[in-house]
Structure 1
Amino acid sequence: MSYEEKSSWIYATVAIAMPAIYFTGILGQVSQAPVQQIEYVIPMLTAVGVAILASIVANIVLGIFSSKVTRRTDERDAEIRRRGFNLGFLVFSVLMVVPLIMALAEVPHFWIANTIYAAFALTGFSYSVLKIASYRRGF
């Protein structure tokens, strides 16, 4: 498995695990209190920060234990990265229509912010899954 593929696995894991933990905790409160009373800003910023930190640390550890030969990239890696980025951009663009409509409909900020966070998470996950599939099956 190449360094780029391992890095994609890290990103996919973090992109799905941290939002899952966040949403489990936050959405569990929806049935207990009105959304205007739910404190979601600090937990969301913490989840984003922890996800970034976890991804950085995991990639540093990966870099330490990977040889220089496995860290080399070639045209295939660049093409897979480009395709993943293009898919991520498409997914994000489509998903961002939902919070835009919600904002226009004056839905509470709680729902808009969480929808945007979900869009970021799904974008990162889809980006990584496409890259992993491309490495596994070829492009």
Structure 2
Amino acid sequence: MVFEEKRAWIRLVVAVLGYAAYVIVILGRLDGRTLPEVPYRDVLVWTVGAAIVASVVAEVAMNSVPGASRATDERDREIGRLGEHVGQSFVVIGALAAMLMAMAEWDRFWIANVVYLCFVLSAVLGGTAKVVVYRRGVPQW
């Protein structure tokens, strides 16, 4: 497995685990309240921060393995671009949804959560695209 594929796996796994932890904590805080009444801000900030730290730590650990090559070539750059283009769609969807929700004066809980969900979906979709292309090859269109 090449360096960039390992990075894609790390980011993919961290995004899924981080969001799953967030959902579990939020649902655990319901205690008879509706979702918008649940205190979510601190959990959201800590979850995003922990995911960033976990990704950095995992990538540093991966880089510290003796003999591991960090060389990239044109194929790696092409796969990286493809994955980023595929994942960007959810960033746009999240921004558009948040804008419409704010204009409709939805509760901040829903706006923050749709943005977070779309960031996670972007990371998952982009990471999955990269992993699939590394495994099956670059599509020829």
CA distance in 2: counterparts of 1:37 and 1:110, whole angstroms = 8
Asked if 1 retains the 8 angstrom alpha-carbon contact of 2:93 and 2:118, the reply is no
Q: Structure 1 residue runs of 4+, over 4 Å off?
A: none
Q: Percent identity?
A: 36
- Matched residue type, 2:77: A
Per-residue CA shift, 1:52-95, capped at 9, x if unaligned?
Answer: 00000000000011525x21000000001111111121232124
CA distance in 1: counterparts of 2:117 and 2:136, whole angstroms = 28
Task: State the partner residue of 2:37.
Answer: 37
| Superposition map of 1:1-139 within 5 A | 1-30=1-30, 32-65=32-65, 67-68=67-68, 70-139=69-138
Q: Specify whether residues 124 and 75 from structure 1 end up closer, same or farther in structure 2 by C-alpha distance, changes over 3 A only.
A: same
Q: CA RMSD in A?
A: 1.6
User: Which of structures 1 and 2 has the larger relative contact order (alpha carbons within 8 angstroms, sep 6+)?
Assistant: 1
Matched positions, count: 138
User: How far is the alpha carbon of 1:110 from its aligned partner?
Assistant: 0.6
User: How far is the alpha carbon of 1:30 from its aligned partner?
Assistant: 4.4
Asked if 2 retains the 8 angstrom alpha-carbon contact of 1:3 and 1:66, the reply is no
Asked if 2 retains the 8 angstrom alpha-carbon contact of 1:88 and 1:124, the reply is yes
Per-residue CA shift, 1:70-124, capped at 9, x if unaligned?
Answer: 2100000000111111112123212433222221211110111011100111101
Structure 2: tracts of 5 or more residues without a match: none
Asked if 1 retains the 8 angstrom alpha-carbon contact of 2:98 and 2:114, the reply is yes
What SS does the corresponding residue of 1:51 show, helix, strand or coil? helix
CA distance in 1: counterparts of 2:29 and 2:18, whole angstroms = 17
Q: Specify whether residues 77 and 135 from structure 1 end up closer, same or farther in structure 2 by C-alpha distance, changes over 3 A only.
A: same
CA distance in 1: counterparts of 2:123 and 2:3, whole angstroms = 18
Q: Specify whether residues 74 and 115 from structure 1 end up closer, same or farther in structure 2 by C-alpha distance, changes over 3 A only.
A: same
CA distance in 1: counterparts of 2:66 and 2:105, whole angstroms = 50
User: How far is the alpha carbon of 1:36 from its aligned partner?
Assistant: 4.7
Asked if 1 retains the 8 angstrom alpha-carbon contact of 2:90 and 2:119, the reply is no
- Matched residue type, 2:11: Y
CA distance in 1: counterparts of 2:34 and 2:91, whole angstroms = 29
Structure 1: tracts of 5 or more residues without a match: none
TM norm structure 2: 0.90
